[in-house]
Chain A
Amino acid sequence: MADIRLEGVGHSYDGGATWALKPMTWTWRSARAYALLGPSGCGKTTLLNIISGLLTPTVGRIWFDDREVTGVPTAGRNIAQVFQFPVLYEEMSVYDNLAFPLRNRKYPKNEVDQRVRQVSRLLGLDDLLRRRSRRLDPGRQQIVSLGRGLVRSQVAAVLLDEPLTVVDPALKWTLRSKLKEIHRDTGHTLIYVTHDQTEALTFADEVVVLNEGEMVQAGEPAELFLSPAHEFVGHFIGSPGMNMLPAEIVGGVVCVGQADVGTAAGQSGDGLPPGPVRIGVRPEFVRVTGARTSPGVAARVTGIDRMGAYDLVHTRVNGHPVIARTAAGSACRPDTVEFLHFPEERTFLFRDEVRCGSLAPLNGRDQA
């Protein structure tokens, strides 16, 4: 087990013209469970392959604790990796598949047996150990691949590249909690790549969000949800994503059209220079009131999705869509005008997609 430190690591497939992964510095701390979250093509797999040594980064250096491994090939790194689709030694039995990484490393026979049985018990493969792996269904095959990744006790990290894509949804939940359990027992460092936010948020101690080859935010699941540092995180996490509403700072006050919604507070508590800004607030926190309240903005209701446990009220504010999540049985009707209130502690301001501050109360500058 080791801290995995990336020092200015970046990768380009076309000799530097475009970065698949922009140079970044970051430390994966030992024994934690990470989720690497981002849309397809954002560089997740590239980052993973750099850590496992399948790819040598164009720039930067990689350290496992005090040992530099930038030029060390995969075999010398002691990393386990599970791929998106089952990768099996098809003509071998499940048992031999699980034992393969251990036998290659000359583990003693009884230890091989003990490790294999431990992993098979954890993953519920006991009854299948003698079966030939190619005859299993894809979901089971993937569980065997997973087992092969987890079977070695001494690994710097286990990398999981969207490992549950082919597993059917019911089994997925079980496996994910199994993984957490295994993580607790073994203390492996896990890096779990996914484009599914639910998977990331339920699995990880810490979620790292990647977009267009750039790390945009890292933090605990709740932190990403409650306090996104980047517009992309607001969009990508949450369902539906964060509302983004163009606004203007005039004299320290944030205005949407003619309406003032609060004062602007910078990151360190000071004010913000005037100019355009975007207000970000999650639908969960938007409050809908029938009567004009202050501070608040007028919104025309365009539609209501009844989701069962809650309603989603779609509105337009100055022509921009804003969604509010309300209790089920909302009284709103299409084409009526409602008033929206953005609570200060949950509303943030963004410039150039990066968070620059938050909303603060109007402090009696109420103009009602």
Chain B
Amino acid sequence: MSEQTTVAGSQVGGEVVPATPAGGSGAAETRADPKPRNNRAWWLVLPVVVSVAFTAVIPLMTVVNFSVQDVFSPSDRIFVGLEWFRSVTRDPEVRAAFVRTLLFSAQVLLLEIPLGVALAVVMPRRGVWMSVALVLVALPLLIPWNVVGTIWQIFARGDIGLGGWTINNVLGINFNYTLDSTDAWITVLVMDVWHWTPLVALLAYAGLRSIPGPYFQAAQIDGASAWATFRHIQLPRLRGVLTIAILLRFMDSFMIYTEPFVVTGGGPGNATSFLSILLSKIAVGQFDLGPAGAFSLLYFLFVQILCYVFFTVLTRSGR
């Protein structure tokens, strides 16, 4: 200690400022000076650009190509301009599917975000039970999507599934997702909540873990109730991860395909026929490449615009 002593005595020279503030912003923004400018860094990014070009750009160009042509056979095609875009946006079936998908995404967000946050708050924080809880909660995320479909296809059936059987025979409600539109919708929605709430919970859990201890101590000292602690300490500090959660859940629920395809196949009727189910019906089922191309581009564009809006609103509201 003696060498520190001589320093500590010298007026202001004695300030030992820890490198990582215990109560700082959490993120490790280590330095204020800007990163060096170096265009040779492009060489490091090149593999990514090439791989993404191959997996995304070229296929996308193909889609653009389809969207402005009427394809009869690979060698026989006519340029039709924006005709397909016009017809797709006027198609009542597409419009209905669009509204349906939007409604589904809205319901998914309203259910999964609060539920996920609530789960994260009550999740065990340490010890073996924390590990067990994490693994069990994360399990649905690692199941292939069609298997998720299969699981619920089985589970919700009135004859051989526990869920469907319980509703029919214990609660006495007539439930059949293969015949009733509402039942089918509820089944798909519950399945999505089952499948994806864990993602929100894990994100929120990670966010909660990054809140420094003194915040909770201060709340105790200030006599805050559990609710006030959540409202004024935990929730404001979850903004970042919740932004990610909302974006991911919006994109993925708006693009949902496999699970409802396995469970309901889009039916009964068109009750659960979401945009992507309709799209693959047009593209693969009917092989209408032009309309499918135009549809794809509009779809992609809409997801991007809405994500941008979410992102802007969520980050602005915090300032």
Contacts and interface: CB of A to CB of B under 8 A. Distances in A.
Given A85-B23, A85-B214, A54 B220 contact: yes
Contacts of B142: none
Interface in B8-35: 8-12, 14-17, 21-24
B221 interface: yes
B233 interface: yes
B222 interface: yes
B8 A100 contact: no
A97 B4 CA distance: 37
Do most interface residues of chain A lie in helix, strand or loop, or is the interface mixed? loop
A145 B225 CA distance: 19
B1 A235 contact: yes
Interface in B185-224: 212, 214-215, 217-218, 220-224
Given A52-B221, A75-B223, A101-B222, A238 B9 contact: yes
B59 interface: no
B228 interface: yes
Contacts of A165: 15, 17
B220 A198 contact: no
Given A101-B223, A104-B224, A198-B11, A39 B4 contact: yes
Interface in A62-93: 73-75, 79-81, 83-87, 89-92
Nearest to B1: A39
A148 B215 CA distance: 13
A114 interface: no
Contacts of B16: 40, 195
Interface in A125-141: 135
A105 B228 CA distance: 12
B95 interface: no
A85 B8 CA distance: 20
B77 interface: no
A232 interface: yes
B221 A85 contact: no
A221 B11 CA distance: 16
A235 to B, nearest CB: 5
Given A104-B225, A235-B2, A86 B220 contact: no
5 contacts: A54-B217, A81-B217, A86-B23, A198-B14, A240-B6
Given A100-B222, A105-B223, A240-B9, 15 more contacts: A52-B217, A75-B220, A81-B217, A81-B218, A84-B214, A85-B24, A89-B233, A101-B223, A145-B218, A198-B9, A238-B9, A239-B8, A239-B10, A240-B6, A241-B5
